[in-house]
Structure 1
Amino acid sequence: MQYKSQAVAKLYFIAAIALFAGQVLFGLIMGLQYVVGDFLFPAIPFNVARMVHTNLLIVWLLFGFMGGAYYLIPEESETELYNPKLTVALFWIFLVAGALTVVGYLAVPYATLAKLTGNDLLETMGREFLEQPLPTKLGIVVVALAFLFNITMTVLKGKKTSISTVLLLGLWGLAVFFLFSFYNPSNPVKDKFYWWWVVHLWVEGVWELILGSLLAFVLIKVTGVDREVIEKWLYVIVTLTLVTGIIGTGHHYYWIGTPSYWQWIGSIFSSLEVVPFFAMVVFCFTMVWKGRRDHPNKAALLWSLGCSVLAFFGAGVWGFLHTLHGVNYYTHGTQVT
């Protein structure tokens, strides 16, 4: 580490690993409940286990993104974090709030939890991935704003690079699109329409910007390829991601009551979403090949290659196989998705 304040990233990475282990544990519980229907019932019903499982997925990724930003930004900006103490305070606030939320899921019936946490004041609970009580959602917003303030001020006081700019764009997008979790219209079509603005535009929009910037940072370190070359690739990936990912949201609008033209818009642009994922694979392998450098950190090198390949097959190839509306008609709502 070049800067003392980068050390705070370790806290976030440890928490991310622990939360990931929790996600796997609840995934195994659900798997056993598929086979043994009354496993851990009524202590942990299937719907509660699934809620904890998916929420832990979101939270450990957020901890990872935050830790990655706290490590990357000081090196890219060539300065210490704007407020290192704030990073530690936010870590404990976020971790404790997340733990209390999980305890609430497990200890209190969900309907009771909704009443206790003021869901009648602003109805935001009950939707997949966004089950968090109102206080938790508000806490996420506060933590996100404080986090973004800290890293944005760090970038503003230091050196500006393309990598830090793309990372900031992805992280600010993450926060902005989460605000749609507070919009819960009574019309079920509108509800699903805007629900996807959180879920889809996170996964197939801003998360790719964050991934691209982290990959670029790692590749500069481990390959020795000129920064200018890597940044040009990053610009291409960002452009492809934004063009295909945003309009590609249409593949979620096929069967929710929206106009039929979304079937064609969604099919065309979501089919193109495989392009930025493929570009990311080409980008990583090309940079490693150009570098021809025997870097001692093999783990980082293999992560950059493996991450791009898995993203390409997981979100790119498998997604493409059933993204066309004619195919999706038969796969929608099944385990294939």
Structure 2
Amino acid sequence: MGVQENVQKPLDRLAEALSPEMEAVNALIRQRMSSEHAPRIPEVTAHLIEAGGKRLRPMLTLAAAKMLGYAGPYHVHLAATVEFIHTATLLHDDVVDESRQRRGRPTANLLWDNKSSVLVGDYLFARSFQLMVEPGNLRTLEILSNAAATIAEGEVLQLTAAQDLRTDEGVYLTVVRGKTAALFSAATEVGGVIAGAPADQVRALFDYGDALGIAFQIVDDLLDYGGATETIGKNVGDDFRERKLTLPVIKAVARATPEERAFWSRTIEQGDQRDGDLDRALSLLSRHGAMEAARADALRWSATARTALANLPPHPIRDMLSDLADFVVSRVA
């Protein structure tokens, strides 16, 4: 399982179509991540924000608003809000997971310390709430503030569910809808709301973002067991080492023999990992077709995202968003 060479093209096309708006978002981010009294804040923030991320989530907000004819300035504020929320969660996640690499670079908590990462993440959350208020739209404020709470709830649920072999695919989906898909769906939904779109179109944008986010996370889980380190921006097998029950493992556990289940219990539940355990885990995933089954799930969610777009008016950006849904799953072949 690896990354195809041509899969960045849909995202690049979307970025090109939104280039002026994204320049405005980036300028606003740089302005709002500054701090008059605490220079460590822009240092830590810049390390992550300027690490070469694709800005997918804020682009979704800009795409939704532009596709539906919005001509005002506030989709830029909402897109920057989305990016700040995302960056704050990454800073916190790396502390919780004790991660050492993010986007191919050392994590902020490794370069500075856990306290700095947590507090700067808190600062970015506060900045995001300042930004989301400025458009003066109560509905977008409700959507984004609810998303921030849902993300935190999903992360807490993952703390208890990720190392419990009783965790099934239903619980996994709840976690993913919280920690990942909630921000995707909020990003697309607020773009429609700020554009004044009718309710059915706003719902279609929510459905698209929700399905895209779920597919995105499933693929991310797959890449952890089958991607190249330089491609995924973290070390292969990090989820296993961090004892996370992601979808491929959940599928393998469901089909495990008693002896195999004992292996998963030792390595995931008890945290007793030894040399060769990652290779054994990969072998079990292969034996039970867990990777292929998870990829099939990702393909179904990608199809759901594309179907949602049918309720939106024809537009070149709509076609790009459809291609983006294909791109997400084509990262694994």
**Interval containing the TM-score (normalised by the shorter chain):** 0.3 to 0.5
| TM-score for both structures, normalised by structure 1 | 0.40
